[in-house]
Amino acid sequence: MAEPLIVALPKGRLTDDALAYLERAGYGLPTKGDNGRKLVLEGSDGRLRFIMAKPADVPIFVEYGAADLGIVGLDVVREAARDVYEPLSLPFGRCRLVVAGRADRPDRPLRLERSPRIATKFPRLTEAFFRARGLAPELIVMSGSVELAPLVGLADLIVDLVQTGSTLRENGLTELRVILESQAMLIANRASYRLRAGEVRGLIDALARATAD
Amino acid sequence: MPDISFSADRPLPEGVRDLLFADAAAWRDMEAALRRTWAAWGYGEIILPTFEYAHTLATDVGSALDAEMYRFFDRHGRTLALRPDLTIPTARVVGTRLYDQPLPLRIAYAGSVFRYEPPRAGRQHEFTQVGVELIGAGGQAADAEVVALAVAALRAVGLPEFKITLGHVGFFRGLLAALNLPERLAADVRAAVDRKAEAELAALLAEAANLPPLARRAVLDLPQLTGDASVLTRAETTCLNTTMMAALAELRGVARLLEGYGVADAVSYDLAEVRDLDYYTGVTFEGFAPGLGFAVISGGRYDDLIGHFGPPLPAVGWALTLDRVLLAAELQGRRTPEPTADVLLAAHGCPACLAWANEARGRGLRVVLDLEGLDAPALWAQAQARGIPRAVRHDDAVLQVQDAAGVRSLALTDQEEVLRWLNR
């Protein structure tokens, strides 16, 4: 039996959909009952091995070839800016990366801000977005509850992921700009794409068919 | 144990490292294997300076490297830079000094290069490139020689498994010309092809409203045009103009020659490889090894570079990153033992022993002298601690040899036994 292909999956809101589509594409999933603690799981048919990683780490596993493939949001892929292939977009995990501010902020264009203080978990994309518009943002990099920052005067604006927008509304925030429309992506290591071309191509095509149905 | 104190306040600058004995030995073994290989193919080594004027190294052809150069000033305030690769200095030497020599020139080099780039996969800011350049020869025969030499080099250093992926910039350039997209869209298409982003390509083409169906098909097929030599047949229907056809014909010619070289099994094809599109002018290739996510070798044809320094000459070559090849070989199970000596010799007060050591060394035996006058048990303990298989002391006119099997006598003149030690 050949070595299984290694797929890095993000722990969290994309996990179930990612596994469901891989199953629909005909791949054996890890057997149930591992109570979510194991970080490396074997697929039941021996064709795939799964690495359960923090979403932000998935592109790193894939770039280094520790995983041949990965499934993760486009937002994470762009923020990580790692050298990986992106052969497939997957029809789940849809959300958008937005600039948001207090609903009661004065209504004027962002470009007239002096040097906005922005709380975010996406420093690279935030920096690039504001720099491209001629602004010098002051970034406050946070690891949770970014919505809190404008409410307590820590930041003028936030850049964060939004699915329905209800969290923003509940916290008295409003969406100002969309930076990126995101959805789940299949990413691939550049070496694996060549060295295991047949198996990688097989998985891309099978997933493409599974998502087209 | 004595009280060991060590100083932690002598940090290394970011981007450099030391290689200790076993690593250094593996390193030099690989370098030696590469030297033997290029010499067997008729390539001659040149040794290049570590720094040059920054404007010499920062040609607009290799502009991607420009931002990564280490720059500093000489005492007259002129800007110098550490070489970020060895191809540009080689091009300078050819363009300014060797242009009227019999062509083609076959040049090889090995040395450190310096780049501000994040350390990844065995590569620090300082890393070692070993490479060859075939200058003054265009065409398939030259391309094939260089690719075949790349395979030979990776085999010579003992990398069991690897794959060279061959492409041609003319294929994608021809496609872009045929599409005639607005500049912005063309750049997006190129970026999407670079990431093999098939869905994104489809979305981008939706923006190009009046694209002929054949051209649309060609772009969407592109990410699939990767694999074994059958790709070169499949790609025929994708060709939209003579540029694409010429690129494909050239690759097919190279593929045929590579079969003759007996390296076809180590080569695959990728017509959607668009990296360094602005630097290369013909075939391009990268080499990958299992377990290492990054290319260990890369190269291609760059007919526009030499002309920056002298009369224009066609050129093709490659450079491998020795640091990464070593790492890749280790990932595939290669182990280099700690280098050690064959004999620990107690020569204290025995001039004849020194003569014996000289003779043994002349025959290739690695002999380490005990400088302290250790007694027999201490000498053997010392040998074991250093991984040396035998300890030798003099006892009147004979030598007492101790090894794992025990102690026995050896005549001072008995070099037959020494030869046996060598062969083991």
Q: Per residue in B37-53, pLDDT tens?
A: 999 999 999 999 999 99
The stretch B383-411 carries a mean pLDDT of 90
Share of chain B above pLDDT 70, in %: 97
Q: pLDDT at residue A34 above 70?
A: no
Q: Which long-range contacts (CB under 8 A, 24 or more apart) does B152-155 make?
A: B152/B37, B152/B41, B152/B263, B153/B34, B153/B37, B153/B38, B153/B297, B153/B320, B154/B266, B154/B287, B154/B296, B154/B297, B154/B320, B154/B325
A95-182 CATH, one of 3.20.20.70, 3.40.710.10, 3.40.50.150, 3.40.190.10: 3.40.190.10
Q: Classify strands B226-227 and B267-270 as parallel, antiparallel or unpaired.
A: antiparallel
Q: State residue A35's pLDDT score.
A: 58
| A84, A87, A191 ranked by CB distance to B198: nearest | A87
Q: State residue B297's pLDDT score.
A: 97
Distance (Å) from the C-alpha of residue B227 to the closest C-alpha of chain A?
7
Q: Per residue in B185-241, pLDDT tens?
A: 999 999 999 999 988 888 888 888 788 888 888 998 888 899 899 999 999 999 999
Instruction: Provide the pLDDT confidence category of residue B121 given band limits of 50, 70 and 90.
Output: confident
- Residue in the structure block whose two tokens are 């004595």: B2
| B165, B270, B292 ranked by CB distance to A65: nearest | B292
Q: pLDDT at residue B333 above 90?
A: no
Instruction: Provide the pLDDT confidence category of residue B5 given band limits of 50, 70 and 90.
Output: low
CA distances from A75 to A43, A81, A163 (A): 27, 10, 13
Q: State residue B120's pLDDT score.
A: 75
Q: Cα(A76)–Cα(A42) distance, rounded to whole angstroms?
A: 25
Q: State residue B234's pLDDT score.
A: 92
Q: State residue B202's pLDDT score.
A: 86
Instruction: Provide the pLDDT confidence category of residue B378 given band limits of 50, 70 and 90.
Output: very high
ipTM > 0.90, yes or no: no
Is A197 near chain B, with CB under 8 Å?
A: yes
Is A92 near chain B, with CB under 8 Å?
A: no
Task: Tell me which of A94, A194, A203, A209 to substitute to probe the interface with B (most B C-beta atoms closer than 10 Å).
Answer: A194
Q: State residue B10's pLDDT score.
A: 80
The CATH class of the A5-93+183-211 domain is alpha beta
Using an 8 Å CB-CB cutoff, list chain A residues near B225.
Answer: none
Q: Per residue in B226-282, pLDDT tens?
A: 989 999 999 999 999 999 999 999 999 999 999 999 999 999 999 988 888 788 999
Using an 8 Å CB-CB cutoff, list chain B residues near A202.
Answer: none
Instruction: Provide the pLDDT confidence category of residue B106 given band limits of 50, 70 and 90.
Output: very high
Identify the structural domains of chain B with CATH numbers, from first to last: 22-331 (3.30.930.10), 343-422 (3.40.50.800)
Task: Please indicate whether the domains covering A5-93+183-211 and A95-182 agree at the CATH topology level.
Answer: yes
| B199, B268, B294 ranked by CB distance to A89: nearest | B199
Q: State residue B61's pLDDT score.
A: 63
Q: State residue B128's pLDDT score.
A: 95
Q: State residue B418's pLDDT score.
A: 83
Task: Tell me which of A5, A69, A186, A195 to substitute to probe the interface with B (most B C-beta atoms closer than 10 Å).
Answer: A195
Query: How high does pLDDT run on average in chain B?
Result: 91
Q: pLDDT at residue B67 above 60?
A: yes
Domain limits, chain A: 5-93+183-211, 95-182
Q: State residue B6's pLDDT score.
A: 64
Instruction: Provide the pLDDT confidence category of residue B107 given band limits of 50, 70 and 90.
Output: very high
Residues 6+ away with beta carbon under 8 Å from A176: A98, A99, A100, A101, A110, A157
Distance (Å) from the C-alpha of residue A111 to the closest C-alpha of chain B?
24
Instruction: Provide the pLDDT confidence category of residue B321 given band limits of 50, 70 and 90.
Output: very high
Cross-chain residue pair A191–B293, CB shorter than 8 Å? yes
Using an 8 Å CB-CB cutoff, list chain A residues near B121.
Answer: 64
